[in-house]
A and B are shown apart, each in its own frame.
Chain A
Amino acid sequence: MHIVDRRLNPGGKSLPNRQRFLRRVKDMAQRAVRESAREKDIRDLGKDGRISVPADGVREPRFSRQPGTGLQDYIIPGNKTYVEGDRIERPPGGGGAGGAGEGGDGGENSEDAFHFALTRDEFLELFLDDLELPDLAKRRLSIVETEGLRRAGYTVSGSPANLALTRTLRNSMSRRIALKRPKLEEFAALEAQIAEVSEFDPILPELKLKLEALRERSKRIPYVDPLDLRFRRFEPYPRPIAQAVMFCLMDVSGSMTEHMKDLAKRFYILLHIFLTRRYKHVEIVFIRHTDKATEVDEETFFGSRETGGTLVSSALVEMKRVITERYDPNDWNIYAAQASDGDNVSSDGPTSTELLRAHILPACQHFAYLEVGDENGPRAGFVEHRTTLWRTYEALAKSGEPLAMRKVNHRRDIYPVFRELFGPKDARQSAEA
């Protein structure tokens, strides 16, 4: 009898099966994931990855008998009152008495949806699949460098742990062949010959001498010579680590309702998830502003209320300050997302434009402006009102600056807008056109 402990075997034996399964349901799963993202709190995205896909795509058909057709009979236990010849009313829904018979197959097939859970990674993979970061090629992606080790050929010196055995023995063998080191078979043959010839044979001393010579030679030419040794060589190389910083700018003046802030927050969270999937290291800077801007922590950013006017350029100035102080554009990928209800002091327009054009946009990888509106959207019958800020930014965008802008009224629009901003290139262009 053997006992084998399999517990330490690598897990995930059915991972390839799962991948095949996911690949098969990819389209449907993607739809389901996006559907669920629309309804769910974005904060909880991917936490509980339960989704369901139409069972049709993953059905495994077999020939099986249709229950409820033809003559069927059942033997069942637990008779209490029936006697032969009794009639029993047909239970509703056809089938047999008590669901006996081949209920199993029918049950599975009649299900119209197949439920299963995705891991957070799989969820996000489907969720953010085919999205891409804009204009990556323009900048150096890799900035901070750490050292890694990688194989780089062989060397004649090194630590015993790195001994390249095959290489060493190959060298040893070629040397032995080249220098004609006597082989074991030669010894054996000669010794056999010596054993065969009689003691008084004149040839004997000669053979013995020959054997002695062979021994001598084999001693002088070692099996493995220090000359043969080879070691695996490793060399250090710089390993790039991509890092990014994400600026969240938000207007917190009195005109921003809770609903608007919620929309903005959802957008930021999506952006954060997206960035963390692309970069090992993502930092977030929160800048809120009324008529003056401050850098704050997350809680204050979303939580506290402020009163005051609205001066967008103050936030841009603050952002510029943070960039120059801490995030050198050469070292960091900078993303910025600004949310606002669009109010701005009209005299601030030129200042903001100038700031953006001269300092912010050149430093940024991507700058997105999200205008959040009322839940009910623009009131019916009114021509859509263009806010001060929108007009300012529109002029910038028209002049070819890398600035993306969208309007959002309802939280179900957040994800589509996000997809528009980061979707595949051609889709984005056609959306903007």
Chain B
Amino acid sequence: MTAGLMSKTSKPIAKAAEPLFTGNDWDFDTIRRIHDACEVEAAALGLSWYPNQIEIITTEQMLDAYASIGMPLFYKHWSFGKHFAQQEASYRRGHMGLAYEIVINSDPCISYVMEENSATMQTLVIAHAAFGHNHFFKNNYLFRQWTDAEGILDYLDFAKAYISRCEERYGHTAVEQVLDAAHALMSQGVHRYPRKKRPDLASEQRRERERQEHGEQIFNDLWRTLPAKADAAKGDPALDRRRALLELPQENILYFLEKVAPRLRPWQREILRIVRLVAQYFYPQRQTKVMNEGCATYCHYRIMNALSEKGLIGDAAYLEFLTSHTNVIRQPNFDDRSFSGHNPYALGFAMMQDIQRIVENPTEEDRAWFPDIAGTGDAMAVLRNCWENYRDESFIAQFLSPKLMRDMRLFHVVDDPDEPDLRVEAIHDERGYRKMRRSFARQYDVAWLDPDIEVVDVDLEGDRRLIVHHKALNRITLQKDDARRVLQHLADLWGYDAVLKEVDPTTGAVLVEHTASARPIFF
């Protein structure tokens, strides 16, 4: 089945004898029928997914799940209780609606659906989560590389048990202090690049041979006549060796502490490890918010339309679906009171629809901008490729089309503290498209969004002072209060003094410097 289903040009398919459900009520049998019907459509779209497990939960359980960042089981910590209290309060006062579903990147893929959902909403949710998100989790390169869908629930089970055992043995306060400190450093607890694999002997030999052959091929006696470089450029060998041993500079601060901090006890290291692995598990999600939601929204839109064409859902249900679909993809303008940045659902869905349009009905402009995909005809193949191989930043950099920029009326504003006014740098016109797309993509680049903080050096044989640098991109410094508090936690874990220098990467000048000494709470 191709994309024709959504446009009015496709010829009507004979209506099925009976819709999947009528009215709002559902039972388990209905859910099963809905799932099976969605499965047929998902297969037609060429999706592939982990086996599904659909769990029906109540409002309170949904709030519970919110509080433990969506995971079905999690260790205990006061901050989750705080979030629960917060969310419950705003939910009870009607400030916040609850999500219709939560989906977990695990194998089998668990989707939580609320019992209050009507039958239509259950269909939408199953199409969205159990097939859309599920396909993305299973296929996207970031998730494949960084997360272990099969092992995550077992690991969380272990983590929960381990931490509660620690609480029994060492006391609630001691464990809480380690967790507090670890949570403060959580976003500095991820490996951003896969680490190098240690080469085995065979490949090492092969490489050596190739290197030699290459050397022989490009041999030129002339090089011998060049004067030798002065030795002065070489650094202090002791310092180099130390930094190499400690794998410095190290941007994964939790990893560094776990491996190197001199005074932590083994169970404290294990807790750091747990927090860091959980952070690593969620790292891909932050990088693919637009794509992930876009993929799920696009899939549910296609599936629901297909079901409607076949007469499997009635007109009333279809209208109900359209209502919530349009709510989900609403993007207020910047001068709207409800504007709070870009809606990832809206952006993702718009881009994916746009890709479909480019693939099926390209304009001259599209052919110039996207020669690879314009007019190739198979939108799903292109989209599946996107979902597999891109993250938000690269996806926008590659596929945001001029037409969409015009439709969304995007413009680029620069806020330079040295100037009295904000400046409109670019708008949706010929001169602005590329510039704007580049900056827009950057807004979704985690390396650009997260402060770049790394452990630079420590003299283990001297005063053991830990030196941490923040490369203040565009001279944007850290929030002072929080930076001081986090640094205090860092010093506590490290066990000795710590200093955080905020450095302007262009000039190397130190903008701000924070210091903290370890409090004797862990030892």
Contact = CB atoms under 8 A, between A and B. Distances in A.
Interface of A: 1-7, 9, 11, 13-14, 16-24, 50, 58-66, 68-80, 82-90, 96-103, 105-106, 109, 114-117
Interface string B58-79: 1011011001100000001111
A55 to B, nearest CB: 10
B61 A1 contact: no
B479 A64 contact: yes
Nearest to A5: B56
A69 B476 CA distance: 5
A16 B76 contact: yes
25 contacts: A2-B53, A7-B56, A11-B58, A58-B78, A60-B79, A60-B184, A61-B184, A62-B186, A65-B451, A70-B417, A70-B475, A71-B417, A71-B474, A72-B414, A72-B415, A76-B334, A76-B339, A84-B429, A84-B431, A85-B423, A85-B424, A87-B424, A90-B420, A98-B339, A116-B85
A78 B331 CA distance: 9
Tell which of B180, B417, B479 has the most Cβ of chain A within 10 Å.
Answer: B479
Interface string B265-287: 00000000000000000000000
Contacts of B61: 6-7, 9, 11, 13
A89 B421 contact: yes
Given A70-B472, A70-B477, A71-B414, A2 B443 contact: no
Contacts, number: 260
B482 interface: yes
B491 to A, nearest CB: 13
Interface in B405-452: 408-417, 420-429, 431-432, 436, 439-440, 443, 449, 451
A237 to B, nearest CB: 31
B54 A114 contact: no
Contact of A96 (B180, B415, B479): B415
B341 to A, nearest CB: 5
A75 B84 contact: no
A14 B64 contact: yes
A79 B28 CA distance: 48
B342 interface: yes
**In the A-B complex, the 4 residue pairs with the closest CB atoms:** A78-B333, A21-B81, A70-B476, A17-B81
Contact of A77 (B82, B409, B439): B409
Nearest to B335: A78
Contacts of A85: 423-424
Contacts of B436: 75
Given A13-B61, A75-B440, A89-B422, 20 more contacts: A2-B108, A11-B60, A14-B68, A14-B80, A18-B84, A18-B85, A58-B82, A61-B481, A62-B184, A62-B482, A64-B482, A65-B476, A69-B475, A69-B477, A70-B417, A70-B475, A71-B474, A79-B409, A80-B409, A105-B479
Nearest to A73: B414
Contacts of A3: 28, 31-32, 53-56
A113 B234 CA distance: 55
Contact of B413 (A50, A76, A117): A76
Interface of B: 28, 31-32, 35-36, 39, 51-58, 60-61, 63-64, 67-68, 76-82, 84-86, 88-89, 92, 108, 112, 115, 172, 176, 180, 183-184, 186-188, 331-336, 339-342, 408-417, 420-429, 431-432, 436, 439-440, 443, 449, 451, 453, 470, 472-483, 485-486, 489
A14 B78 CA distance: 10
A72 B476 contact: yes
A74 B410 CA distance: 10
Nearest to B484: A61
A424 to B, nearest CB: 23
B422 A87 contact: yes
Contacts of A50: 89
A170 B449 CA distance: 66
A58 B184 CA distance: 12
A83 B428 CA distance: 9
Contacts of A65: 451, 476-479
Tell which of A16, A50, A63, A76 has the most Cβ of chain B within 10 Å.
Answer: A63
A6 B440 CA distance: 42
Contacts of B88: 117
A96 B342 CA distance: 14
A2 B52 contact: yes
Contacts of A98: 334-335, 339
Given A71-B417, A74-B415, A84-B427, A1 B35 contact: yes
B187 A17 contact: no
Contacts of A114: 82, 86
Nearest to B341: A100
A216 B20 CA distance: 65
Contact of A71 (B51, B475, B481): B475
A65 B432 CA distance: 28
A84 B432 contact: yes
Contact of B56 (A4, A59, A75, A109): A4
Nearest to B426: A84
Contacts of B115: 7
A100 to B, nearest CB: 5
Nearest to B347: A77
A103 B317 CA distance: 37
B425 A73 contact: yes
A94 B250 CA distance: 34
A66 B54 contact: no
B93 to A, nearest CB: 10
Contacts of B55: 3-6
Nearest to A71: B474
A1 B53 contact: yes
A302 to B, nearest CB: 33
Tell which of B63, B81, B108, B481 has the most Cβ of chain A within 10 Å.
Answer: B81
Contacts of B341: 100-101, 103
Contacts of A1: 32, 35-36, 39, 51-54
Tell which of B67, B85, B112, B428 has the most Cβ of chain A within 10 Å.
Answer: B85
A60 B409 contact: no
Contact of A7 (B57, B78, B184, B470): B57
A66 B42 CA distance: 44
Contacts of A87: 421-424
Contacts of B92: 117
Nearest to A74: B413
Nearest to A88: B422
Contacts of A22: 81
Tell which of A7, A79, A82, A85 has the most Cβ of chain B within 10 Å.
Answer: A79
A399 B28 CA distance: 76
Nearest to A21: B81
Contact of A106 (B35, B79, B440, B479): B479
Contacts of B409: 77-80
B413 A97 contact: yes
Given A6-B61, A61-B481, A76-B410, A18 B81 contact: yes
A114 B84 CA distance: 13
A66 B514 CA distance: 15
Nearest to A1: B52
A13 B28 CA distance: 24
Contacts of B339: 76, 78, 98-99
Nearest to B422: A88
Contacts of A102: 449
